[in-house]
Structure 1
Amino acid sequence: MVKPRKVPMRKDVLTNEMAPKRLLVRIVRNKEGEVSLDETGKKPGRGAYVGLDPKAVQVAAKKHTLDKIFQCELSDEFYEELYKYVEHQKARLDLFGELGKKH
């Protein structure tokens, strides 16, 4: 009998809800203090996860929520990039179903 694989869960820093890791976007701050999107999930540094909810990202941009989490000032361009990425990933999820699912 094959044992079902454990699904890694992470907390969405914007909603404080737990979700499967692959349904979240990782944002990372490196040693130099640069904050960037981590599409691979493997970049070194302090990471935080954001769910695929464009509205939550818009609210975070208005309140500069991620600035507080990463303890640095993030540009509006960063929030815009995050919004576009989250919106794109959500559209892919809606179109293709689960991301990264092997057939």
Structure 2
Amino acid sequence: MNKVKKVPQRKCIACQDRDSKKELIRIVKNKDGEIFLDPTGRANGRGAYICKSLECLKKAINNKALNRAFKMEVPTEVYEKLLMELEEYDK
């Protein structure tokens, strides 16, 4: 009897699309309050997932999805840093 391995599903905080964990990028807020992209998906802290597209990140910024996900006011510099990191990751 073959067991089918269940693929972990996550939801993009911007567009609400569900996808496998590997297809989305994790954004983490650690206990020091730092917010950063987590390409490994294993960093300690509270995670929120987003599609690998700049449009989704911009949408998340506009509708303050990260503020809701992390239950805090996310500074503009953090958003700018995430945009730069995602552009680098995309290359």
Q: Shorter chain as normaliser: what TM range?
A: 0.7 to 0.9
Displacement after TM superposition at 1:48 (Å) = 0.9
Q: Answer yes or no: is the 8 Å Cα contact 2:25–2:49 preserved in 1.
A: yes
- The count of corresponding residues between Structure 1 and Structure 2 is 91
State the distance in 2 between where 1:38 and 1:25 align: 7
Equivalent residue for 1:40? 40
Superposed CA RMSD in Å reads 2.3
Paired position in structure 1 for 2:80: 80
Contact 1:52 1:86 in 2 (8 A): yes
Task: Give the ranges of 4+ consecutive aligned residues of structure 1 lying more than 6 Å apart after TM superposition.
Answer: none
Unmatched 5+ stretches in structure 1: 93-103
- The answer to whether the aligner puts 1:50 opposite 2:50 as a matched pair is yes
How high is the sequence identity, in percent, across the aligned residues? 37
Which amino acid in 1 is paired with 2:52?
Answer: L
**Alignment correspondent of 1:6:** 6
TM-score, scaled relative to structure 2 = 0.76
Contact map agreement 1:52 1:87 (CA 8 A) in 2: no
CA distance in 1, matches of 2:62, 2:52: 17
TM-score normalised over the length of structure 1: 0.69
C-alpha spacing 1:13/1:62, structure 2 compared with 1 (3 Å) = closer
Gaps of 5+ in 2: none
